[in-house]
Structure 1
Amino acid sequence: MGQIALDDVDRGILFLLQEDARNTTIAEIAEKVEVSNSTIRNRIERLEGRGIIEGYYPKIDYEQANYPLHVLFVCSAPADEREELALNALDCRGVVDVREMLTSRLNIFIEVVATNTRDLAEITSDLTSLGFEIESSEIVTNHYTRPWGEFEFEEAEE
């Protein structure tokens, strides 16, 4: 499918969903972007259907969920195997996120959660057996996100 141009309504929807998709209602979005509820529903369906909205994901505090080890592995993989290895990594126990980098030797970032160091060692072994070379591992203490600024919109003044 070809790309579709986003208008102010689409951008407003995307901004508000990025801000808090779980707690933002169709009615709240409609009020803020000044269109009807049905327009918002139709637009969200269109954005999902065109692959612009790919899903809705909870932000999880793994430590609060009793998974105290939250680690980012910085890996390298052969460029011609990178995508396949990245997809295979998702099947490993403990892996919650895999990111492919376009260039550089350090071209795969793998985020994992574990309950203890033995668990983490098993995950490390699983990843290396897939063909990843783990260059470094970093303990994640916090992760911050914000809606992309290009989707920001001016709310109507009351």
Structure 2
Amino acid sequence: MDDLDRNILGLLGADARMSVATLARRLKVARSTIQARLERLETTGIIAGYTLKLGEAARQGRLRASVLLTIEPRALAAVLTRLKAMSEVERVFTTSGRFDLLLQIAAPNTQVLDSLLDQIGGMTGVKSSESLIHLSTRIDRAV
């Protein structure tokens, strides 16, 4: 990946709907060059897809939380299967340190969030959980 590829990714990260013509104009290269680069970035898996990023207006009214889990040995696959079935679980990361998984979850209200946290904490194979409720977003550079 060279500087042109990084510049393409940077512009698409800010606006995934940007046309090939606009990318070419902004980066001062031929449209065919941008098209070829995009195809290569997609083929090699650097670009996995184009997506929608919700703004604050869409996220209002949704409670978000991070949940840290410690899992019993050999229970990870079963726990992941159950987490996958919960639509409120948006992302699951493996971690280093004293926790095994970090979950990002969202719920429409405190009752649903409370119930969800109880379900997760009570799963067979979950040794312990710690929940962090998100209050406000101060910096968001995620693409």
By the TM > 0.5 criterion, same fold?
yes
Q: Which residue of 2 aligns with 1:119?
A: 112
Larger relative contact order (CA 8 Å, sep ≥ 6): 1
Number of residue pairs matched by the alignment: 140
Q: 1:116 to 1:146 in 2, by over 3 A?
A: closer
Conserved 8 A contact 1:26-1:37: yes
Distance 1:56 1:127, change over 3 A: farther
TM-score, L = length of structure 1: 0.71
Contact map agreement 1:29 1:40 (CA 8 A) in 2: yes
Q: 1:134 to 1:146 in 2, by over 3 A?
A: closer
- Taking the TM superposition and a 5 Å limit, the aligned residue runs for 1:101-120 are 101=95, 103-120=96-113
Change in CA separation of 1:89 and 1:57 when aligned onto 2, cut-off 3 Å: farther
- Equivalent residue for 2:141? 145
Superposed counterparts of 1:38-117, under 5 Å:
38-61=32-55, 64=58, 67-78=61-72, 82=76, 85-86=79-80, 88-101=82-95, 103-117=96-110
TM-score by length of structure 2 reads 0.77
Picking from 12, 17, 25, the partner of 1:17 is 12
CA distance in 1, matches of 2:15, 2:133: 28
**In structure 1, C-alpha distance between the alignment counterparts of 2:101 and 2:52, rounded to whole Å:** 23
> Does structure 2 retain, via aligned residues, the 8 Å contact 1:92–1:127?
no
Which deviates the most, 43-52 or 69-78? Answer: 69-78
**Structure 1: gaps of 5 or more residues:** 1-5, 148-158
**Residues of 1 paired with 2:74 and 2:54: CA distance?**
33
Query: What is the match of residue 3 of structure 1?
Result: none
Tell me how large the CA RMSD over aligned residues is. Answer: 2.7
Task: Work out whether 1:30 is the aligned partner of 2:33.
Answer: no
2:68 is paired with a residue whose SS is: strand
Give the 3 Å change call, closer, same or farther, for CA 130–95 of structure 1 in structure 2: farther
**Percent identical residues:** 28
Q: Which consecutive unaligned segments of at least 5 residues does structure 2 have?
A: none
Alignment partners' CA distance in 1, 2:142 and 2:65: 21
The ranges of structure 1 where at least 4 consecutive aligned residues each deviate by more than 6 angstroms after the TM superposition are none
User: 1:83/1:53 Cα in 2 relative to 1: closer, same or farther (>3 Å)?
Assistant: farther
